[in-house]
Structure formats: structure tokens, C-alpha cells
Amino acid sequence: MTDVAIDVHGLTKKFGDHTVVRNLSMQVKRGSIFGFLGPNGSGKTTTIRMLCGLLTPDAGTGTCLGYDILRDRDKIKRRVGYMTQRFSLYQDLSVRENLEFVARIYGLARPAAAARAAIERLGLTGREEQIAGELSGGWKQRLALGACTLANPQLLLLDEPTAGVDPKARREFWKEIHALAAEGLTVLVSTHYMDEAERCHELAYIAYGELLVRGTVQEVIAGANLVTWTVTGPSKALASLSEALAPMQGVDMVAPFGSSLHVSGRNAQELQSVIARFRLPGLEWSLARPSLEDVFIDLMGRAKDNYQ
């Protein structure tokens, strides 16, 4: 057992003439929560599936949980739990029946006991006989997490697991994920939520098949070398200001955030020179710390769509 759960080099995957992932290399530490971010269609899910042996790359090599991703795919699969964005359990079975059924599919010796343990661990006590289709989004999420961790996997894949779930349920979900990681479970998660990304130990940003940046939240923000200013004012004035600033030399990103704009650039002097021209009555400017969302909006704006 090493402290590296996944170690891959030069992974490439094509579908027809379209290259979905190109020459990707990375490592994931055992017991870490590793987040994948990027535009829709950027190759996040394809990357995750190749990393754990669920999809065979066209080129590249690597290991997952100590097994070769090309030769030992069946061994890897038996040690992986996969939770999809869409609820995939039986809507007309109860919570208990779903978990017992999944336990039998896994071949667990005592499926009823395994289901009871999952129900207790995930706070589903009192809902055992509730029909799954009648659960709210947050409770369905807990049930799905219970099902994919029944067999005690070493690696957990979460493909946008909290889409459509309220903030309280999302927070409780992530509390459980961190508890599982603390016990040694490695987690790969794709998400579009910046607050979720900030809960990951490490991040990778993939755009149209290429890995652009990776590291901790602090490393990703620092590596972007962005200087960000926040400007507040009347909504009409901000809309006009956004249009005026976007094409200007020294401005790399203009993005609305509620009743303000975030204006970012990599050359602090050039950016400040541009801003000086727009210090108008009714507009309040202040220097701000770049956020993770600033960085990813900027990366998305600079990434080239490989379908074009």
C-alpha cells in the first residue's frame, strides 16, 4: 500500500475523430478528495472513468489502487463505488429494500445487516420503509451514497452528485464525504459548484480534453496570477461598464457577481490604468482577493473548444 491511489501518464481518449482527453498525466493521493472542474463536454467524466479502469484509454499507462488500468480493470471495478448525477435506484422500493437489494448484488454475506448499518450511518433511521421515489432530493442523495459505499470501496466516484440539492443537504453530504476520506477512502468528484470545489483537497481544471491547472485551492488561485477589483453601482451603469471594459487591453475577465462586477487582469499596472478611466460618480471600486470562481471563469474564457 502506497500513499498514491492513482498514478497515470499520457492518457488519451478518442470517440471517432474527436479527441475527448489529450495526453493527461496526474497523481491522486490515497484518502484525498480530488475535484474535477470544467465546462460541460470538457472530458471530466471520461477522465474519471479512465483513471479508475472503467474506460480503456487509446493511449497512456497508469495504475489505480495498485492495479494496472489496462490489464486489471476487473480488479479495479470491484473496489470502486460510483454515484451518478441521476438517482439510479428503484423508485418503487423502500429505502431498506433498495439497500438490501444492492447488498445482494455485491454478494455481501449479511445484506440485511449491511443495509441497517448504512441506514444508521447516513441518518436514514426512521425512513427505512419510505418509498425511494417519495424522498426529497437530499434524502435520495443519502440513499444513493449509502448504496455505493455498501461494499466498502477503496475509491468513490461522484459525478456531479449534488445537482438540484438544497444547500443544507449539500453541506451534510460533504460532511459525510470528508468522514469517509478520513477513514482512507479516495474520492474523485466532478462538480460545477465553487463552494464544493473549495471542500476538495486538490482540484484539476479540464477544458476540452486538456488538463490546464491542478493543485490545492490556494495553489490554483495563486497560480492564476490574477489581480481582481470589485465595482458596485447601479445595475444599468454596471451593464454598460461591463461592455466597455471587456475588450480593453489589460482586462482579462469581467464577470457579474450579484450587484457588483469582478474585473480581473494579470498585469496589475495595466489593469489599474484602465480602471482609473472608469472611476466615475456612482461607481465604487475596491481591490479584492481573486476567488476560485474568478480563476475558473478566466480559464473557461481562454480555453479553446475542441469541437470548433
Q: What are 141-177's pLDDT values in tens digits?
A: 889 999 999 999 999 999 888 777 788 888 888 999 9
**If pLDDT is split at 50, 70 and 90, which confidence band does 305 have?**
low
Report whether 50 contacts 205 (CB < 8 A).
no
3-class DSSP state of 126: coil
pLDDT at 95: 94
The pLDDT of residue 242 is above 80: yes
- When the pLDDT of each residue in the chain is averaged and rounded to a whole number, the result is 90
Query: What's the rounded mean pLDDT across residues 37-44?
Result: 84
Domains and CATH numbers, the chain: 4-221 (3.40.50.300), 227-289 (3.30.70.100)
pLDDT at 308: 45
Between strands 284-288 and 260-265, the pairing is unpaired
Query: What sign for the dihedral angle of Cα 103, 104, 105, 107?
Result: positive
pLDDT at 219: 95
168, burial (CB in 10 Å: exposed 0-12, middle 13-18, buried 19+): exposed
Enumerate the H helices of 201-246 as residue ranges.
217-224, 235-245
pTM: 0.87
Q: Per-residue pLDDT tens for 75-103?
A: 998 899 998 777 778 899 999 999 999 99
Q: Report the Cα–Cα distance between both ends of the chain, in Å, rounded.
A: 44
Distance between CA 264 and CA 61 in Å, rounded? Answer: 38
